[in-house]
Amino acid sequence: MTITFLAHSGFLVEWEHFYTLFDWWKGALPPLKTDKPLLVFASHAHEDHFDKHIFALPETYPLTRYVLSHDIRLAARRWEKLGMTEELFARVTSMRADSVFATEAGGAALTVRTVKSTDIGVAFLLSAEGKLVYHAGDLNWWHWTDEGKQYCDNMAESYRRAIAKLAGAVRDEAADCGCAPMLDVAMAPLDPRLGDAYDKGVAYLMEQIPVKRLFPMHVWEKFDWIDRYRREHPADAERIAPIRADGETFPI
C-alpha cells in the first residue's frame, strides 16, 4: 500500500487491487493504471474537499466510481454545472452519516462505514485486504475560542462521541476481517488556525484508537506544524508522517 499526499486534505491510496482517492480538489494526480478500479471519495461539499473535476476522471480511468457524502447535491438540475451525465450518476453511491456500504473493487471485498462529521458531511472508514483506512474529512475537534465556551464544550462532546462511534466501527470491522483492531492508516486534520488547540483532534484520536500511521491534513501548507506536533507529542512522533510538501508518497 502506498499513500500519496496530493494537497490539503487530498490523498491517493493505492491498495493491491484498487485505488482510493479522497477529497481531491487540487494537487497533481500521478499516473494510474487504467485497468485498476479507482474509487473517488468526497467527505462533504466544501470547496476545499469537493470539486466537479472529479467527474472527468472516467475519461482517463474508465473503472472510476464515486462514494460521496449525502450533502453533495447531485440533483438533475445541477448536472450541467457539474459536468454530470446519467451514466456518471449511475456510478455514484451517496452515503449518509452512520451508514455502511459493502461493495467490491478489483475482486476485493470492500466495506465503507461513515461517521457524522463535527462540521458537515462524513468521515470514512474503509476495510479491505485486511487493512483499515480512515479519512476524517472535516471531522475534528474544532476548538474555536471566539465562538464561546458553550460552543467549545459542545464541540468537545460531539468529537468524543464521534470518535467513540469510530472506535466501535474499528472493532466491528476488525472482528469481521480477522485483523487487529487498529487503523493501519488515518488521515486527520491538524489545523494551524486553531492556535494552541491545533492538536486536540489528532491527540484524542490516537489516545482512543490504535493507529499505525497518521497523515496530518488540512494544515494549509504550514507543514512546520506537523513538526511541532511531533515535538510536543514524542510518544506519537514515529507514527506521524513527516509531510513536507504536496505530492509526497509514503509506502506502508
| CA-to-CA separations, 16 to 23, 74, 129, in angstroms, rounded | 21, 31, 8
Q: Is 0.85 topped by the overall pTM?
A: yes
CATH number, residue 34: 3.60.15.10
Would you tell me how many other CB atoms lie within 10 Å of the CB of residue 150? Answer: 8
Cell numbers linked to 1: 500500500
How many domains would you assign to the chain?
1
Residue closest to 208 by CA, chosen among 171, 153, 154: 171
Tens digits of pLDDT across the chain (252 residues): 999 999 999 999 999 999 999 999 999 999 999 999 999 999 999 999 999 999 999 999 999 999 999 999 999 999 999 999 999 999 999 999 999 999 999 999 999 999 999 999 999 999 999 999 999 999 999 999 999 999 999 999 999 999 999 999 999 999 999 999 999 999 999 999 999 999 999 999 999 999 999 999 999 999 999 999 999 999 999 999 999 999 999 999
Query: Can you give the residue range of the structural domain that contains 160?
Result: 2-251
Question: How far apart, in Å, do the first and last CA atoms of the chain sit?
Answer: 5
